[in-house]
Amino acid sequence: MTSVTSLAPPASGSAPQGAITDVKKRYAAGVLKYAQMGYWDGDYEPKETDLLAVFRITPQEGVDPVEAAAAVAGESSTATWTVVWTDRLTACDSYRGKAYRVEPVPGQPGQYFVYIAYDLILFEEGSIANLTASIIGNVFSFKPLKAARLEDMRLPVAYVKTFKGPPTGIVVERERLGCFGRPLLGATIKPKLGLSGKNYGRVVYEGLRGGLDFTKDDENINSQPFMHWRDRFLYCMEGVNLAMARTGEVKGHYLNVTAGTMEEMYRRAEFAKELGSVIVMVDLVIGWTAIQSMAEWARANDMILHMHRAGHGTYTRQKSHGVSFRVIAKWLRLAGVDHLHAGTAVGKLEGDPMTVQGYYNICRERVNQQDLPRGLFFEQDWADIRRVMPVASGGIHAGQMHQLIDLFGDDVVLQFGGGTIGHPMGIEAGAIANRVALETMVLARNEGRDILSEGPEILQAAAKWCKPLEAALHTWGSVTFDYTSTDTSDFVPTASVA
C-alpha cells in the first residue's frame, strides 16, 4: 500500500493535517479543512458493520488528495462547508464518514482511489433511496473535485439483512420453468416501435414455439398510439400459451409494466397476473423506490421481476465520473430484481469481458471474493439473499455461442433479438438455430471438450443436420463488434480508451 503522505503534491501551504483534537479550536466558528474536522483517519480500522465505499476522484489542480478524500467523506456524511457548533449536540465522531485510505490509480496520473467507511447508523434499513441519497447525493458536484466515480461498495451483512432481495431468484425461477442445466434463451421483439398488438404477438408466438424460453418487450415499449398496453398484453399471452401447448414447455414474455405513475404500473402488473404471465418487467429509469415497490408486488404475486437497465450508460460508462455498474448491480440485488441486464462482452454494447464477469459474479454468487482484475474491490457476503439471473442482450448471435457459454456459464439468459427475428428463414427458424447452437455447445462442454477453441467446428457439425443453424452461421458468423472498451479494470493490462 502506498503511504498517504507520499501522495501529497509538493507542499504549497496545503499539506494534509489530521483531525484537530483541541475542542476549542475544533469548534471555533469559521472554516476548517475537512481532514482537520475529522473526516480523514489513516489509522482507522473499518468495523465489520461499516459500509465501505471506494471512489475514484480527480482533485482540481493543487488540491491535496487526502484533503479531497476527507471532503468526499464529509460531504457524503455529516459535513457542511463550515464548522457548526450543533455537532456538539451529537455523538458526531461516530456519524462522520471516515476516509481511511488513498492510493493512486495505476497508470492514471491525477486520479486516486479513496476508501471511506460509514457507520451503520447512518442508513435507514431497507431503503436504497436513503443509501443513494447519502453516498451519491451531493458529492459528485463538489467543486474541489474535477470528477468522481463510485467504484464499489462493501455492504455489511447487518445491512444486507434489512433487504428482502430478489423475489424469485435463479433457483426458484428455474424450478418454476422446469429448466435446468443450460442458459435460458430469449429475444427482444423487433422492431421495438410501430408493431400493432396483433403483429407483435405473432413474433412472440413464432419465437417461443421455435424454442425460446422468453420473449421480451423493449425498454421503451409502454403504451403508445400504435399499440396500447392492454392489446399488447392480450396478444402476447395468446402467443405464450399457444407456444406452451405446442412445445410442452413453460414459456414467458416479459410484459413491460413501466408507466408514468406507480398506480398505473400496479394496474398493468395486475392485468399481467390476471392473464397468467409468469414474468413482468420494469426499466431502471422508474427509480429506486418504484423498483422496491415492484419487488414487493412481485413477491406478493409469485412473479419474476425482469429489470432492463435503461439509462445506466449515462453514468456508468465513463471511468472518470459517475457510478460503476457493479455498484448499481449491488443495489439492485438488494432492492430485489430477478433478472438484470449485465452485458455481453462480445455484443454491440460496452463491456470489457472481465469487468462484465465481475457484474455477473455480483448477481450470482453467495459471497464475492475480492477480485481486482474483475473490478471487485471488496469481499461481499450476500447473507443468503437470492441470486439474480443476469441477462446478456444486445448484438449477439448463434456464432458466438461458445464464447458466451465460456464467459458466463449456464445461469444467464442469452437474448438474441435481431439474431432471432432477422433470420433469413423466419423467426421460428431463428429460434431453432439459437436453441440448437446452445444445446450442442452445453453438451460438448459437459463432455469435456474445449469449447473456446473447438466452438466454431462444434457449431459447423450441428449445422450439417440443422438448416436453420447453417443459415444463421452463414448470415452472421463473421459479425463481431471489436471496439476498445471504455470501462476496464485498472489492475490488468487491457486496452482502454483514455
Partner 1 sequence: MPRITQGAFSFLPDLSDDQISAQIQYALDQGWAVSLEHTDDPHPRNTYWDMWGTPMFDLKDAAGVMGELKACRTANPESYIRLSAFDSTRGWETVRLAFMVHRPEQEAKFRLERTEGPGRVQHYSVVRA
Question: For 401, phi and psi rounded to 5 degrees?
Answer: -55, -40
Task: Please say which residue, 273 or 306, places its beta carbon nearer to partner 1.
Answer: 273
Question: For 98, phi and psi rounded to 5 degrees?
Answer: -120, 110
* 308 annotated active-site: yes
> According to the binding rule CB under 8 A, does residue 245 interact with partner 1?
yes
Choose, by CB under 8 A, the member of 33, 319, 341, 435 that binds partner 1.
435
> According to the binding rule CB under 8 A, does residue 464 interact with partner 1?
no
Residues in the chain, overall count? 498
Interacting positions 178-207 with partner 1 (CB under 8 A): 178-182
**Angstrom distances, CA of residue 74 to CA of 42, 55, 85, 98, 99:** 15, 13, 16, 8, 9
Task: Please say which residue, 109 or 448, places its beta carbon nearer to partner 1.
Answer: 448
> According to the binding rule CB under 8 A, does residue 237 interact with partner 1?
yes
Binding marks (x or -) toward partner 1, 139..178, rule CB under 8 A? Answer: --------------------------------x--xx--x
Distance, C-alpha 480 to centroid of its chain: 23
Region for residue 276 given its phi and psi (left: phi exceeds 0; alpha: psi -120 to 50; beta: otherwise): left
- Options 305-313, 347-355, 401-409, 440-448: segment touching partner 1 (CB under 8 A): 440-448
> According to the binding rule CB under 8 A, does residue 384 interact with partner 1?
yes
Which of 183, 203, 206 is CA-nearest to residue 195? Answer: 203
For the chain, the distance separating the N- and C-terminal CA atoms, rounded to the nearest angstrom, is: 25
CA distance 485 to 318: 10
Which of 179, 207, 122 is CA-nearest to residue 156? Answer: 122
> According to the binding rule CB under 8 A, does residue 457 interact with partner 1?
no
Choose, by CB under 8 A, the member of 164, 190, 230, 348 that binds partner 1.
230
Residue 213 Cβ vs partner 1, minimum distance, rounded to whole Å: 10
Task: Please say which residue, 103 or 439, places its beta carbon nearer to partner 1.
Answer: 439
Choose, by CB under 8 A, the member of 432, 458, 459, 471 that binds partner 1.
432
* 33 annotated active-site: no
Residue 240 Cβ vs partner 1, minimum distance, rounded to whole Å: 9
Residue at grid coordinates 464529509: 74
Task: Please say which residue, 22 or 447, places its beta carbon nearer to partner 1.
Answer: 447
Which positions ≥6 away from 40 have C-beta within 8 Å?
16, 18, 19, 34, 66, 67, 69, 70, 73, 98, 99, 100
Specify burial of residue 25 (Cβ count, 10 A radius: 0-12, 13-18, 19+). exposed
Q: Which residues are catalytic?
A: 190, 308
Q: Site residues (CB under 8 A) for partner 1?
A: 171, 174-175, 178-182, 211, 230, 234, 237-238, 241-242, 244-250, 274-276, 366, 384, 387, 410, 432, 435-436, 439-440, 442-443, 446-448, 462, 465
